[in-house]
Amino acid sequence: MPKKPVPRPENEESHLKKLREELEMSQEDLARELGVSSQTISRWELGKNVPTFTVKQMKALEKLLASIGRSIGDLPDNL
C-alpha cells in the first residue's frame, strides 16, 4: 500500500527543497537528473506525494550528494 503524504505546515520548507537549493539546482534540473518530471519534484516538495526512488534514481541522488560532500546516510528519513 502506498505511503500517504504527511501534511507539513505551510511555513515549513521541505527537506527535498532545501537539498535541491543546496545543490543549486532548479526543479527541472533535479527532475532531469532523477528521470522524473518537474511536476513530480514539485509535488514531493509540497508534500502532495511521498518520494519513492528506483535504484537508478538512488545512484543519481548519491552522485549529486557526493558533489556537495554528503551521502544518502545524511538525509532525513522524511525527505
- Give residue-wise pLDDT tens across range 9-49: 555 679 999 999 999 999 999 999 999 999 999 999 999 99
Tell whether 48 is covered by a domain.
yes
CA distance to 13, 24, 27, 35, 67, per residue, from 50 (Å) = 15, 22, 16, 16, 25
- The per-residue pLDDT for 79 is 78
Q: Give the CATH number for residue 31.
A: 1.10.260.40
Total structural domains in the chain? 1
Tell whether 22 is covered by a domain.
yes
Task: Please state whether the predicted TM-score (pTM) of the whole model is above 0.85.
Answer: no
Q: What is the distance between the alpha carbons of residues 7 and 10, in angstroms, rounded to a whole number? A: 9
- The per-residue pLDDT for 16 is 94
- The per-residue pLDDT for 24 is 97
